[in-house]
Amino acid sequence: MKVFLYGKRNAGKSTIIQEAARRCGIVPVGFRTVCDRDGYEGGWNLHLQPASGPSVFTPQNRVAVCHPDGSWKSYPDVFDSEGVRLLTFACEPRLVVMDEIGFMEKDSERFQAKVMEILDSPCPVLGVIKPAIKGPGPFIERVYAHPGVEVMEITAENRNERLLKIIGKLEMHVSRGG
């Protein structure tokens, strides 16, 4: 089971992942991205965080900064260090979260390789991905094209139905011993 969600901002993609894991009694591993707007007037910092647990904002987990004028800078070395660390497991996890895959990882070869390695593994994955429009880039295209990946659009109208479908898939995977 490898499901990636896409949709408009605030459609409920991350909430669906958190709720599906909670309802299935799973503490996920992997990563989530969290915006930090505190102390950054008009812009924001984007940080990689563990899939479960509290958010801690440090320079070591800051993967991007967006300036008030809309320009941004990503930090590929952070994806390649912290991102790879968050996707490295001692044993096969019950659920890997990748929230979210986007264009800022375009220069992070180690991170991209780790994501593809997990997609090739038997590990179940729930993730968020940027829509494949406006030339998403080779990495996003590779995730979309992976033979084991299912992609679902999330909207305000379908998010409850999609949550139930994802819970069913996750429960089926867990009951098969995965």
The structural domains of the chain, with segments of one domain joined by +, span 2-175
Give the separation between CA 141 and CA 46, rounded to whole angstroms: 23
- Tell me the per-residue pLDDT of 4-39, one tens digit each, with 9 for 90 and over: 999 999 999 999 999 999 999 999 999 999 998 776
Q: Identify the pLDDT of residue 91.
A: 85
Q: Is the pLDDT of residue 113 over 80?
A: yes
Q: Is the pLDDT of residue 68 over 90?
A: no
- Tell me the per-residue pLDDT of 49-66, one tens digit each, with 9 for 90 and over: 999 989 999 999 999 998
Q: Is the pTM of this model over 0.95?
A: no
Q: Is the pLDDT of residue 87 over 90?
A: yes
Q: Please say whether the structural domain 2-175 has been given the CATH code 3.10.129.10.
A: no
User: Residue 117 half-sphere exposure, CB side, CA atoms within 13 Å?
Assistant: 11
